[in-house]
Amino acid sequence: MDTILKNITYTKPRGHDEITAALLSIVKKDYVILDTVNYLDSIKISISYEGDEYIIIAHTKRIHDNGFPNNRRPEIKRIQVRPIKEEMYTDSTQCFLLSGIVYYSGEPLLVVWNPFTFRGFAKNRSAYISTISLKNAFDEGFYYGADCETNVYVCRKGFFKNLLSKYIEDTKFEEIVW
């Protein structure tokens, strides 16, 4: 466990530019980025996806220690999730990513949680990730699984395509026709 913990580093507190740069470096390894714009508390990224323009609204935060007193569970990391204002649905034209950035052996990892897990709360909540899942994603390139009782998607550069296709498959909103 100590070796895993030594490999984890964080972005600077309030390092929005660093977080955005890390996110875009992961996305552009697999997709052509057509445009980016700040959008509420997130970044809106337009990519070329399967021949069409696809919008990713990424609410990306810094992953940090877990917030437990005296860091008594160092194998758990988290982001703080505030009530979300952006449109959270996923369909054939866009998706919303509740995500965090952390570095493992100096390489950025993108962690994504399903935002609907955190919907409907007036106060901040935490989204957790285990250090074992971060190591698995680093070793394999992409990791998907239940972690800390929540589904997580984790990838490093070169594997965002895997993350995005699995995430869209799992969270896509299907229109109901009556």
pLDDT tens-digit profile of 37-49? Answer: 987 778 999 999 8
Q: Give the separation between CA 2 and CA 61, rounded to whole angstroms.
A: 25
Where in the sequence is the domain holding 102, given as residue range(s)? 2-171
pTM: 0.88
Task: Say if 124 falls within a structural domain.
Answer: yes
Q: Give the separation between CA 126 and CA 31, rounded to whole angstroms.
A: 30
Q: Give the separation between CA 118 and CA 115, rounded to whole angstroms.
A: 5
Question: What is the number of domains present in the chain?
Answer: 1
Task: Say if 144 falls within a structural domain.
Answer: yes
Residues 47-93 pLDDT 10s: 998 888 999 999 898 888 766 666 667 788 888 887 776 667 778 88
Task: Say if 177 falls within a structural domain.
Answer: no
Task: Say if 128 falls within a structural domain.
Answer: yes
* pLDDT the model gives residue 66: 66
Task: Say if 176 falls within a structural domain.
Answer: no
* pLDDT the model gives residue 71: 66
